[in-house]
């Protein structure tokens, strides 16, 4: 299979390409979507997890437009768990307390080259890591198509402007 999806598909005489999306960015994979007059063709290449192993996988899924019964796309926000947030809070507060103790000379730190600045830089990095652990939110753009006899097809995409516009176009095309 080649990375260009147009070279991998056969188009009939009465079929033409409506729209092509060659640069969709998935999470850990590359994706292309082509909409023709009769089919929705999805080509993916990249990492996938099967039976707890990470493998490289290529696949092409051709879906007849008449058989599509349900299509949806949505943006999902995944927050860190309570324990990760608690650990981040402990790191952030602990680094602030240590920085205050070093500043007020309550804590004796061994002297080394640039120790008066490097201690604060290290504690500042620990503080930033704690803040990231507290406030990080992972965003995933899902695209799901159910066709035929309840055959699901799902894509996990990065929420970029191009991906969102492509999915809006696909959703408006079918409904």
Residue 4 has pLDDT above 70, yes or no: no
Q: Which of 27, 25, 22, 81 is nearest to 54 (CA)?
A: 27
Domain over 5-77+137-174 is classified CATH 2.30.29: yes
Tell me what the mean pLDDT of segment 111-131 comes to: 91
Q: Which of 34, 88, 92 is nearest to 65 (CA)?
A: 34
Location of structure tokens 């402007």: 161
Q: Which two tokens stand for residue 144?
A: 């799901």
In angstroms, the CA 95 to CA 124 distance is 7
Q: Which two tokens stand for residue 111?
A: 């002297």
Q: Which helix (H) or strand (E) holds 23?
A: strand 17-25
The structure's pTM equals 0.75
The residue among 116 and 91 whose pLDDT is bigger is 91
Q: Which of 37, 34, 55 is nearest to 45 (CA)?
A: 55
Tell me what the mean pLDDT of segment 117-136 comes to: 95
The residue among 77 and 57 whose pLDDT is bigger is 77
Query: What pLDDT score was predicted for residue 5?
Result: 67
Within 10 angstroms of residue 97's Cβ, the number of other Cβ atoms is 13
- The alpha-carbon radius of gyration of the chain (Å, integer) is 25
Contacts of 137 by beta carbon, 8 Å cutoff, 6+ apart? 77, 78, 79, 80
Residue 174 has pLDDT above 80, yes or no: no
Q: Which of 165, 158, 152 is nearest to 31 (CA)?
A: 158
Query: What pLDDT score was predicted for residue 129?
Result: 96
Query: What pLDDT score was predicted for residue 60?
Result: 83
Give residue-wise pLDDT tens across range 107-116: 888 888 888 8
Location of structure tokens 């095309």: 173
């Amino acid at each position: 299979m080649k990375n260009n999806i147009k070279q991998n598909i056969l188009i009939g005489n009465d079929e033409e390409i409506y729209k092509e999306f060659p640069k969709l960015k998935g999470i850990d994979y590359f994706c292309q979507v082509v909409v023709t007059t009769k089919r929705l063709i999805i080509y993916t290449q990249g990492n996938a997890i099967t039976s707890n192993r990470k493998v490289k996988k290529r696949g092409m899924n051709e879906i007849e437009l008449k058989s599509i019964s349900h299509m949806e796309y949505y943006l999902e926000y995944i927050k860190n768990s309570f324990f990760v947030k608690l650990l981040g809070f402990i790191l952030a507060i602990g680094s602030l307390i240590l920085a205050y103790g070093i500043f007020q000379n309550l804590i004796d730190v061994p002297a080394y080259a640039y120790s008066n600045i490097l201690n604060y830089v290290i504690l500042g990095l620990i503080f930033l890591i704690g803040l990231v652990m507290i406030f990080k939110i992972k965003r995933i753009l899902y695209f799901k198509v159910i066709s035929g006899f309840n055959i699901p097809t799902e894509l996990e995409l990065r929420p970029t402007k191009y991906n969102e516009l492509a999915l809006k176009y696909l959703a408006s095309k079918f409904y």
